[in-house]
Structure 1
């Protein structure tokens, strides 16, 4: 049973106790009356006993505690676990998420480099350190997205940088609405199309140097593709996966495939019922702008093709609006500066995330684990 005192709580099983103590972290924000993010320091009878800690994390989660905290705060930092191994992260996060009744998220259409490190654990996007990732909810520009994405710091850059800014998507929506309400109504009325070009590994296509990905990759559309398959067979097998997301796609002369997904511009969180800025506009615009790819043919200075987000009728969304959106996203960010062993739990429906650059040659390893609420209610389309 979870025993709570003020903002702290503890759980004991077979004379083994795990305590969760609220701690303050610099520059934490207050959003909708709750601290963002909530930070908890973990103390245990034996902090090195992964099995006992995992069992208690499962029971605490099964009692609904982590779901309540994530719904209220959006993001919960667990600090003090003292083990930064991939295996430990896998144990802890799997205990929490299976305790909540969640299932591992099946990636389809991955547009970036990720490598599996342990069960349900992957490296974060392996894009070069020079690249900043702007606020985005994971897979929000797709029709298939996880309910949660959790981050774990395995190695922190020695010379700074590499932090993970997060933002509350309800606050994001509200701030954009306050500044450019016409844009909110226009997006809601005209709907949104997200476009991604996937290069081919088999044929020579334009790729992003340092963050190469291909439609033949397993977590993109290559789940059934074999090395000995002909190119036409690979395409047919890829189409089967693409159609799980959308019927709107086309093959290009260089062997790449353009995939278009028609998604709502805004969603309503299934538990809080608050509107959230849940789409791929900001992440795509910021990345395209930094790559000098805002004009046709939309080729980035480091390679790759960055087709702009459009309204459903194909009209390109005005950059003047997207620049305001991008500025607001930076203004409301909480920048999490990692300590090794930090585990940051994130409700993907209501919290977006990004990535700061760091020095070339410095090592940064942040792992991710994505989960899906297969039996729960997904965010619904929201119209102001």
Structure 2
């Protein structure tokens, strides 16, 4: 018999009724019975998942049999929305097969700050699934945080400034420093790049060296369409040059200048964002983060607007794959 419980940041389990999801902390744990396939999820639990996602924001499925990555894909696709391709991505991923990708392929020693998936652009996934095939020896957790709580805890002056002025994300695509445009747009056809940018209100220009630069203005906060709650929804703290280690930052600026940084962010009018302001933003993320160890077979399902995610450094082999819708 499948059970629903609450998994808090210390990995302790508490009894929970599905109707009381809004009073619980992130994430809700759905525990499978021994040998139970992920495809045999109880109908009553499946029917309640939409409410849980809209209130808590995240569900961890644990103890189920997920035989292959195809089973993971089938499970993610079973919620009705078509699985998305990784268009206009900002980090390196490998395609497992259509609709399923590796998690971000940054070196194991690096921490990936919490963020809402593709919040640096306008078309972004509303849901995201992570499936742990192999847990790392140490570390490697996928920390998560409630975007409503981040919004609420953000100092009022920063919150109001970001909300009113919005953000301008600037990207320079180059295989030498970051992702080349061919990989980001999944094409070698400049006409397709032009069409994508036109369709998504992205400014673009081809530079003299043949590389591409884009600019896109986006909101920094969002109102959830189902609950009306405000959420902190941007990647300013990742895109800003202050996210780079100081010595590397100095070398990069000396080499290419601010205008050619692989990625950077400004207020919507193009004015700079102070480093210390983004340090405060990062501290709010740190204070609200929740981590739990992965177990092989786990599937974590998130409402991308309500929950941010990241990755802790790790040792040993780690394999986590991702689907988005």
Q: TM-score range by the shorter chain?
A: 0.7 to 0.9
Pairing partner for 1:274 from 206, 226, 229: 229
CA distance in 2, matches of 1:181, 1:84: 47
Choose 1 or 2 for highest CA Rg. Answer: 1
Asked if the contact 1:84/1:154 (under 8 Å) is kept, the reply is no
For these two proteins, the number of residue pairs brought into alignment is 314
Matched, 1:368 2:296: no
2:58–2:301 contact (8 Å) kept in structure 1: yes
SS of alignment partner, residue 36 of structure 1: coil
Query: Larger % of helix: which?
Result: 2
Bigger shift: 250-259 or 73-82? Answer: 250-259
Q: Structure 1 unaligned runs (5+)?
A: 1-17, 200-204, 226-233, 372-384
* TM-score after normalising by structure 1: 0.74
Deviations 1:200-229 (A, max 9, x none): xxxxx5324xxxx32112xx2234x3xxxx
More deviation, 117-126/29-38: 29-38
Distance 2:82 2:44 in 1: 17
Aligned-pair CA distance for 1:262: 0.8
In structure 2, C-alpha distance between the alignment counterparts of 1:293 and 1:195, rounded to whole Å: 16
Pair 1:350 & 2:316 matched: no
**Counterpart of 2:119?**
140
What is the correspondence of 1:1-384 to structure 2 with a 5 Å cutoff?
Answer: 19-22=2-5, 24-27=7-10, 33-43=23-33, 46-47=35-36, 50=37, 53-54=38-39, 56-57=40-41, 59=43, 64-83=47-66, 85-95=68-78, 97-98=79-80, 102-158=81-137, 160-176=138-154, 180-199=155-174, 205-208=175-178, 213-217=179-183, 220-223=184-187, 225=188, 234-285=189-240, 288-290=243-245, 292-293=248-249, 297=253, 305-359=261-315, 362-371=316-325
What's 2:17 paired with?
none
Larger relative contact order (CA 8 Å, sep ≥ 6): 2
Output the aligned Cα RMSD. 2.8
The TM-score normalised by the length of structure 2 is 0.87
TM-superposition CA deviations, 1:83-121 (whole Å, max 9, x none): 3631221222222x22xxx22224321122222224522
Deviations 1:345-367 (A, max 9, x none): 100011000011123xx211111
CA distance in 2 between partners of 1:58 and 1:144 (Å): 32
Asked if 2 retains the 8 angstrom alpha-carbon contact of 1:37 and 1:74, the reply is: yes
The 2-side partners of 1:295 and 1:313 are apart by 27
